[in-house]
A and B are shown apart, each in its own frame.
Chain A
């Protein structure tokens, strides 16, 4: 690695360890300088290949820099900076170190040019982010953290298996488009591991489970990195894979359905991450230049507005200690600033004109239209309405308006408001000046978001979604329930499995397998052993005994010849010599 190129991810990962040794104002300055330096390193980077190293005879590339990796690195480092501003007041070094390592891991994945370094940063993200869950230090958070780790360790192993298989088949570790290996086992394993991190159902239940249990500031970091770095590697490796079109569209609707049922504010937002990532996965699957551009732009916009939404819900959680929508209400009186900033994020995710989602989400939907995928187009539009319904209407209604719960609120610490303000400014800037974002996108296709029809039909759609919301309001009252998701399989399913093992399976083992063992294994084996033993005593032993006896007899005979008298030996030798002479004379 040369001095001209500094890996922004390593800067964060190594720099984070300085923080525990600093105090007070110096520490807070360092908390901001580290992500700012990483952002600066990303901005001054130009496309090329940097940081090459050799390991086990393989070329590792830590700095694969092109337009795609650059735009993701910008938003990851901006996000790290916003997250640190939001977390400035937190007096917990382990959270700061974990958050910066997590962000550094995402940057490492972004710049990885080979599978091995990709894998290392991939695992680093999982291990560091789980700390952000555990540090809430409640029993439910610790348990959720272990489940999160379990899922990601399995995902990591699947990825590793895929990488090793791919390496042995292709002889190369380079991380390139996997289209040439489509349908192979290695291709499938790597795809599954990527889909798991992108939270594609049925592999996505870890996301709402963990994100809703994370610390207030940790949840903000988590909303940004894992799923979007997975979208990035999907674009790199699997653009144009048709399966992703349908998974993405289904995912967009799936998140919306669960959001209707959800009562926990951050779980609701987490299900909307799944829904929004659905648009990106769908765009990756469509694979046209416009679709890839849309997926990238939407990832960029999404990270900023979703962070803002998590910051808003986190602020309410921090101030009131409430996480259930059914317990909140009436907070607009005491937290108007938080409400206003949250609503900017809500308008952005709902794709209201002049907010960032409007200029990014529509690109993916238009790409589906251009490819004449009518069902995908309709599903994504439906999910759009659902997004506004929940994030823009249901959540703020029950959190800030609705029935006054009497919960005492106040504005959160100033640094949290500043972070929310910065994120809100970014959402509006991108919405008003989409060129700011578009100029950094790969596959620069001309796309004009602000057409008359697009604006009017979007406004019509949002307006009538709002009408539907107010008409059906009484059906939307949050209920004190939780909803089953695929995490059931490792939360309840495993308990059921153990019960099955202990009761029925144990009896089955004793009654059936035991008997089967007796008849199929034990008796034949014992019978065969008996046979072999007899064979042994009859043939082998007899043979040895026979050899022994004949040796003994022979030696008895020889013993009589050896009597100790020299004259007898001489006589024997003479007979022998005479015999030899007679033989020689006869034959000659």
Chain B
């Protein structure tokens, strides 16, 4: 049983990983909001980039949009049976 197996198969370990993941997300969001105010970072190209936690929000929105829209296009139009070209 290797290192990964120990952490993924054991529910207690897995719950701990999950918790750290959420903590990490919270830290990143906080860093994104707070740090630019303290250090006055680089110039933005667009106004929407100054929106608090822009990166996190756009990442989540992009991810959801890609999955939902792609699956929709796929179901309605593009996806075919594997033997589509064989017949």
Contacts and interface: CB of A to CB of B under 8 A. Distances in A.
B8 A451 contact: no
Contact of B66 (A336, A366, A374, A382): A382
Interface string B6-47: 001000000000000100110011011001100101100110
Contacts of B66: 256-257, 260, 382, 385-386, 389
A44 interface: no
Of residues A377, A463, A466, which shows the largest number of chain B Cβ atoms within 10 Å of its Cβ? A463
A481 B78 CA distance: 10
Contacts of B82: 480-482
Secondary structure of the A contact surface, majority rule: helix
Secondary structure of the B contact surface, majority rule: helix
B41 A460 contact: no
Given A336-B4, A456-B32, A451 B42 contact: yes
Contacts of A257: 66, 69-70, 73
A333 B5 contact: yes
What bracket does the count of chain B residues touching chain A fall in? 35 or more
A484 interface: yes
B58 to A, nearest CB: 6
Contacts of B2: 333, 336
A395 to B, nearest CB: 14
Contacts of B73: 257
Interface string B55-86: 11111101111111111011001111110110
Nearest to B63: A468
Interface in A326-383: 332-333, 336, 366, 369-370, 372, 374, 377-378, 381-382
Of residues B2, B66, B73, which shows the largest number of chain A Cβ atoms within 10 Å of its Cβ? B66
A88 B85 CA distance: 35
B23 to A, nearest CB: 11
A371 B42 CA distance: 16
Interface stretch (A46-54, A471-479, A505-513): A471-479
Contacts of A372: 45-46
Contacts of A463: 24-25, 28, 56, 59
Report, nearest first, the 4 A-B pairs whose CB atoms are least far apart.
A457-B55, A468-B63, A369-B45, A461-B59
Interface of B: 2, 4-5, 8, 21, 24-25, 28-29, 31-32, 35-36, 39, 41-42, 45-46, 48-49, 53-60, 62-71, 73-74, 77-82, 84-85
24 contacts: A257-B69, A260-B74, A261-B71, A261-B74, A332-B5, A333-B5, A369-B46, A370-B45, A378-B58, A382-B66, A389-B63, A452-B41, A453-B42, A456-B28, A457-B49, A458-B55, A460-B59, A461-B56, A464-B55, A464-B57, A472-B63, A472-B68, A481-B79, A482-B79
